[in-house]
């Protein structure tokens, strides 16, 4: 490997010369506006230096023929169906936005004997798909360094739109353009979704022997949100202004879940950050994901598994099966109907008597609340039946099964004494922060794959696990190369 020390020192000396040339003007600044301009110029100069140094280091690493040979050999030995087609020059964008050209070995997927998709060229271009082993070993995919890809994906995930994200990135000297920014985020998220799905499938078939949930009091909750899907329509004219065809925008229900750990008093622990994740799939799909996570994190050895949710039948009809698939004893499973949802139902019921005064309603709710809290559900049902008279009888009675069918899930006094949470605020917060604040909104329409990707990135971001996901995804992208990298067994594992 070539020693980049001399080249780096030369860049630093040139940087110092540029700074010296500006120092006199900077030191003469006496106003707020000029000081702001000066500070921005200093930061821009330092970003430029950082890219220059990174470029020299990258060129030096790739100039090491032994390193490139090792990465190529590792790829071949992994059994991947690739063949070496020689060196190519490729452009790489660095964290500060600088582009550099590098000369690296290129491996093309061997498609001989395999029919390609019916495209203009028969397959993806004339060469099929491929990769650069040396760049992949360094985490450089999609023509960007790992730090840049992660930063762009994080900003777009955290912002309300790509345009807003680009404005924030531009202030740090990063601007890839709208189309390239969007493509980069979609590629990063689609890869992470595919990797996560593969991991979940492996965990469902071969669960971890132990994990961070072993011996813990584990709480799970799930619920659904809303977003608009963008579906292309066949035929039709393009719009004169945009050149786009019309599309359908049906509502979809992304389903999210949360996994967190509590102590004996029922308080959230600091030793395990909550896990958020979700899918646009159906009820079975989100429970299959839950099973994969729980099996992969050692929940089969959990001290207790607590499921909290509203009265939705699609949730409670699957908990017993989930416990069986996770291989946790049913005696360790507790199901809890959200207290606030139950109280909301009582307030709906007391609204049916049209001629009642506000004081009468408050008095009725106070008594019903006491019965509900004490877990006297049979007595509560009898009390509710007293309102089932006349025209409102049918409206009142439709709520009776909600309480009588969830008797064991409404023992709130016992739950409180045992340190078991009574509310599903964690999942409600997740829906608001993950879905409502990013994927749902006026003029927001999502293709299914892109929505799945954003759902994953946003979930991990709001759970404080975004960097863990990005690190794990890079390692999964090149499993044949683990030189100096810690082995991460799950996307929620912190090295």
Over its length of 495 residues, how does the chain's per-residue pLDDT go in tens digits?
A: 568 899 999 999 999 999 999 999 999 999 999 999 999 999 999 999 999 999 999 999 999 999 999 999 999 998 888 888 899 999 999 999 999 999 999 999 876 655 555 554 444 444 457 899 999 999 999 999 999 999 999 999 999 999 999 999 999 889 999 999 999 999 999 999 999 999 999 999 988 888 999 999 999 999 999 999 998 877 667 777 766 777 888 999 999 999 999 999 999 998 999 999 999 999 999 999 999 999 999 999 999 999 999 888 899 999 999 999 999 999 999 999 999 999 999 999 999 999 999 999 999 999 999 999 999 999 999 999 999 999 999 999 999 999 999 999 999 999 999 999 999 999 999 999 999 999 998 889 999 999 999 999 999 999 999 999 999 999 999 999 977 677 778 999 876
**∠ CA 216-326-430, rounded to 5°:** 65
The owner of tokens 């601007």 is 175
Q: Are 299 and 207 in contact (CB under 8 A)?
A: no
8 A C-beta contact, residue 479 and residue 488: no
Beta strands in 41-118, from DSSP E residues, in sequence order: 82-93, 99-109
Identify the pLDDT of residue 145: 97
Burial zone of 53 (CB within 10 Å; 0-12 exposed, 13-18 middle, 19+ buried)? middle
Calculate the alpha carbon distances from 311 to 255, 335, 365, 401, 422 in Å.
15, 11, 19, 11, 13
Tokens 């990174």 correspond to 54
What is the C-alpha to C-alpha distance for residues 173 and 170, in angstroms, rounded to an integer? 5
Long-range contacts of the stretch 121-124 (C-beta < 8 A, 24+): none
Give the pLDDT score at 236.
63
| Residue 356 tokens, joined | 């009642």
Sort 307 into a burial class: Cβ within 10 Å, 0-12 / 13-18 / 19+.
buried
Long-range contacts of 3-6 (CB under 8 A, 24+ apart): 3/60, 4/56, 4/57, 4/59, 4/60
Euclidean distance between the first and the last CA atom of the chain, given in angstroms as a whole number: 29
Tell me which H or E stretch contains 344. Answer: helix 339-350
Show the tokens assigned to 489. 């067994």
The SS3 call for residue 252 is: strand
pLDDT at 367: 97
Report the alpha-carbon distance of residue 262 to residue 264 in Å, rounded: 7
CB 199 within 8 A of CB 493: no
């Amino acid at each position: 490997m070539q020693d980049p020390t001399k080249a780096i020192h030369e860049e630093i000396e040139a940087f110092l010369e540029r700074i010296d040339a500006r120092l006199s003007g900077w030191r003469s600044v006496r106003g707020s506006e000029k000081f702001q301009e000066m500070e921005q110029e200093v930061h821009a100069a330092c970003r430029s230096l950082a890219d220059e140094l990174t470029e020299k280091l990258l060129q030096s690493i790739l100039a090491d023929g032994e390193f490139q040979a090792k990465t190529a050999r590792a790829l071949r030995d992994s059994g991947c169906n690739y063949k070496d087609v020689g060196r190519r020059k490729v452009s790489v964008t660095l964290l500060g936005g600088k582009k550099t050209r590098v000369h690296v070995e290129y491996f093309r997927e061997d498609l001989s004997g395999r029919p390609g998709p019916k495209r203009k060229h028969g397959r993806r271009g004339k060469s099929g798909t491929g990769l650069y082993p040396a760049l992949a070993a360094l985490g450089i995919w999609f023509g960007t360094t790992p730090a840049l890809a992660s930063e762009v994906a994080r900003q777009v995930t955290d912002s309300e739109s790509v345009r807003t994200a680009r404005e924030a990135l531009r202030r740090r000297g990063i601007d890839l353009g709208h189309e390239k920014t969007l493509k980069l985020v979609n590629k990063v998220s689609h890869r992470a979704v595919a990797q996560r799905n593969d991991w979940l499938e492996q965990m469902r078939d071969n669960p971890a022997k132990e994990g961070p949930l072993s011996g813990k009091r584990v709480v799970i909750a799930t619920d659904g949100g809303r977003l608009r899907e963008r579906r292309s329509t066949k035929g039709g004219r393009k719009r004169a202004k945009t050149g786009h065809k019309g599309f359908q925008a049906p509502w979809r229900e992304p389903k999210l879940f949360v996994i967190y750990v509590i102590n004996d008093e029922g308080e959230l622990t600091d030793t395990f950050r909550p896990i958020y994740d979700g899918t646009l799939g159906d009820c079975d799909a989100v429970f299959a994901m839950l099973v994969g996570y729980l099996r992969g994190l050692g929940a089969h050895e959990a001290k207790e598994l607590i499921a909290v949710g509203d009265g939705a039948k699609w949730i409670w009809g699957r908990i017993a099966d989930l416990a069986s698939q996770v291989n946790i004893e049913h005696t360790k499973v507790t199901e809890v109907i959200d207290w606030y949802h139950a109280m909301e139902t009582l307030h709906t019921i007391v609204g049916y008597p049209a001629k009642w005064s506000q004081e009468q309603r408050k008095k009725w709710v106070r008594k019903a609340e006491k019965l509900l809290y004490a877990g006297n559900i049979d007595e509560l049902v009898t009390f509710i039946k007293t309102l089932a008279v006349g025209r409102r009888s049918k409206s009142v009675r439709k709520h009776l099964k909600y309480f009588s069918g969830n008797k064991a899930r409404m023992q709130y006094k016992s739950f409180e004494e045992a340190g078991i949470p009574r509310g599903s605020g964690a999942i409600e917060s997740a829906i608001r922060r993950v879905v409502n604040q990013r994927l749902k909104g006026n003029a927001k329409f999502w293709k299914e794959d892109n929505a799945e990707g954003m759902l994953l990135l946003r979930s991990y971001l709001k759970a404080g696990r975004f960097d863990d996901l990005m690190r794990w995804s890079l390692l999964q992208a090149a499993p044949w190369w683990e030189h100096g990298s810690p082995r991460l067994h799950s996307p929620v594992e912190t090295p």
